[in-house]
């Protein structure tokens, strides 16, 4: 994806407020050289942030007549208004080794034995995975094939078949669950209706006193 940024020279709260009032977003680009203060068109950035690829893939930033490869690293939104307050980008090149969270796309679960045969439920416990790779190898997303899932199975991060050169970032000994297969709970059988004892013909029901006895 490609976007356009412009250099800005003024800094500070007042300058940033004036930029926002003019429909611009203050930002910064750092890494592989001197940090540069930038500004972007608010509406263009706002709609770009709605696209998955803008968050997880290499971007072409046009700045001062030159195009640089960057990654979105952070952005701040207004507490309750749909307004972008600030954005951070990092310069990268093909030799930059980086860590980045990548979206997970799932496919084939409807054809798996777990769903098709055993009518199980498939839960996507995680929807993204932090990976480490060269910037040139960073995928926009990772597709996970679930067509072989079986009843009671769970897929952990270590079970995923990632593209060559890409590995997931391990946090200590943790091996997080990515997908879990669960058996739906059977409907509870209806409880039998309580049995009410019936009095024999000509005799009062058990436990009831004769009205004549009550009058005594």
Residue 210 counted as domain residue: no
The whole-number pLDDT of residue 143 equals: 94
Task: Assess whether 48 and 21 both reside in one domain.
Answer: yes
pLDDT at 7 over 80: yes
Q: Which of 14, 17, 40, 18 is nearest to 27 (CA)?
A: 40
Q: For the chain, what is the domain count?
A: 2
Q: What is the pLDDT of residues 123-148, one digit of tens each?
A: 999 999 999 999 889 999 999 999 99
Which among 93, 112, 129 is the end of a domain?
Answer: 93
Q: What is the pLDDT of residues 68-121, one digit of tens each?
A: 999 999 999 999 999 999 999 999 987 889 899 999 999 999 999 999 999 999
pLDDT at 214 over 80: no
The whole-number pLDDT of residue 200 equals: 54
CATH number at residue 14: 2.40.240.10
Higher-confidence residue of 146 and 209: namely 146
Task: Assess whether 11 and 47 both reside in one domain.
Answer: yes
Task: Assess whether 62 and 11 both reside in one domain.
Answer: yes
The whole-number pLDDT of residue 48 equals: 94
CATH number at residue 159: 2.170.120.20
Q: Using an 8 Å Cβ cutoff, are 53 and 85 in contact?
A: no
Residue 196 counted as domain residue: no
Task: Assess whether 107 and 61 both reside in one domain.
Answer: no
- 178-212 residues labelled b (16+ CB within 10 A) or e (exposed): bbbbeeeeeeeeeeeeeeeeeeeeeeeeeeeeeee
Euclidean distance between CA atoms 134 and 98, whole angstroms = 6
The whole-number pLDDT of residue 189 equals: 45
Residue carrying structure tokens 């995928």: 139
The whole-number pLDDT of residue 34 equals: 83
Task: Assess whether 39 and 22 both reside in one domain.
Answer: yes
The whole-number pLDDT of residue 95 equals: 83
The whole-number pLDDT of residue 133 equals: 93
Task: Assess whether 125 and 88 both reside in one domain.
Answer: no
Which among 63, 93, 123 is the end of a domain?
Answer: 93
Q: What is the pLDDT of residues 149-191, one digit of tens each?
A: 999 899 999 999 998 999 999 888 788 999 999 988 764 444 4
Range(s) of the domain holding residue 58:
2-93
Strand 177-182 versus strand 2-7 pairing type: unpaired
pLDDT at 4 over 70: yes
The whole-number pLDDT of residue 144 equals: 95
Q: What is the pLDDT of residues 20-35, one digit of tens each?
A: 888 999 999 998 778 8
Residue 168 counted as domain residue: yes
Residue 198 counted as domain residue: no
């Amino acid at each position: 994806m490609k976007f356009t940024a412009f250099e800005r020279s003024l800094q500070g709260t007042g300058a940033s407020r004036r930029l926002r009032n003019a429909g611009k977003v203050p930002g910064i680009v750092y890494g592989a050289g001197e940090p540069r203060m930038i500004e972007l068109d608010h509406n263009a950035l706002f709609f770009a942030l709605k696209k998955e690829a803008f968050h997880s893939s290499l971007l072409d930033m046009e700045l001062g007549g030159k195009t640089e490869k960057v990654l979105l690293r952070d952005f701040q939104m207004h507490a309750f208004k749909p307004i972008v307050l600030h954005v951070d980008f990092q310069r990268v090149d093909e030799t930059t080794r980086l860590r980045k969270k990548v979206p997970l796309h799932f496919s084939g679960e409807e054809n798996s034995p777990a769903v098709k045969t055993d009518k199980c439920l498939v839960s996507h416990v995680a929807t993204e995975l932090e990976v480490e790779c060269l910037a040139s190898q960073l995928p926009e997303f990772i597709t996970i094939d679930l067509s072989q899932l079986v009843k009671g199975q769970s897929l952990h991060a270590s079970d995923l078949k990632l593209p060559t050169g890409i590995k997931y970032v391990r946090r200590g000994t943790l091996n997080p669950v990515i997908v879990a297969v669960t058996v739906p709970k059977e409907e509870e059988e209806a409880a039998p209706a309580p049995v009410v004892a019936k009095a024999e013909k000509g005799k009062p029901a058990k436990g009831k006193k004769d009205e004549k006895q009550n009058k005594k």
